Amino acid sequence: MIRARPYDRDVALDAALSLFWRKGYHATSLKDLEGALQMKPGSIYAAFDSKHALYLSVLERYFLRSRGELKALRERPGPILQGLADHLRAVARREADDPARSACMLVRTMLDATAGEAELGARARGYLDAIRAEIEAAFRKAQENGELTKAQDPARLAQRYQSNMTALRIEAHRGLDDAALIALAEEMAQEVEALRPN
């Protein structure tokens, strides 16, 4: 009897993440998943239960990576505001085919979720809230370090930063040319840098 070759869960999740991010939940078929994961339908269902469950696993993976990047900005040496500003610049300078330059998977999921997929939308909203909390923690640390005044509100700054990041990635997704995207990111980055007290 020939056994199916064992699958690597991390490799499979990364392949599914790339596919779902590119095509979206609805447009991704089981055949698409078979090709991307190099697994038969029975093996996909045995490993992940359903397309829905697989998508939730992928969404969590995407969230953890995104939150990890922001946490690393907060924990790195040097000024926090500079790190946040440079993060915006880095998004605009990524290669055009880099998925991290396209619209956020969490935002796309929240917007695409139908009434019958309330769990997907709710999960995406929860993850976006957690990412905003991570950004707020970075601004709070900047405030503790004297990079912000006591009058500046880290929660409000986090909301603005997340909104700018979302807008920047949507413009990239829409195909804004490189020079215009870099210029837009620079304006946003300078806005963060300008928060420092004079």
pLDDT at residue 101 tops 80: no
Given the candidates 2.60.40, 3.30.1490, 1.10.357, 3.30.70, the CATH classification of the domain at 62-193 is 1.10.357
- Mean pLDDT to the nearest integer, 90-108: 82
pLDDT at residue 4 tops 60: no
Model pTM score: 0.88
pLDDT at residue 141 tops 70: yes
Element (H, E) at 113: none
- Mean pLDDT to the nearest integer, 96-117: 81
Please state which of the ranges 98-102, 122-126, 138-142, 151-155 shows the lowest mean pLDDT.
Answer: 98-102
- Sorted by sequence, the CB contacts under 8 Å of residue 44 that are 6+ apart come out as 30, 33, 34, 37, 54
- Sorted by sequence, the CB contacts under 8 Å of residue 34 that are 6+ apart come out as 40, 41, 44
- Sorted by sequence, the CB contacts under 8 Å of residue 98 that are 6+ apart come out as none
Q: Identify the band that residue 3 occupies on the pLDDT scale cut at 50, 70 and 90.
A: very low
Q: Model confidence over 50-65: pLDDT tens digits?
A: 889 999 999 999 999 9
- Mean pLDDT to the nearest integer, 133-147: 96
pLDDT at residue 14 tops 70: yes
Listed residue (77, 76, 9, 18) closest to 47, CA to CA: 9
Helix locations, the chain, DSSP H: 9-23, 30-37, 41-48, 51-75, 80-92, 105-112, 118-144, 154-174, 178-193
pLDDT on residue 7: 64
Quote the percentage of the chain above a pLDDT of 90: 54
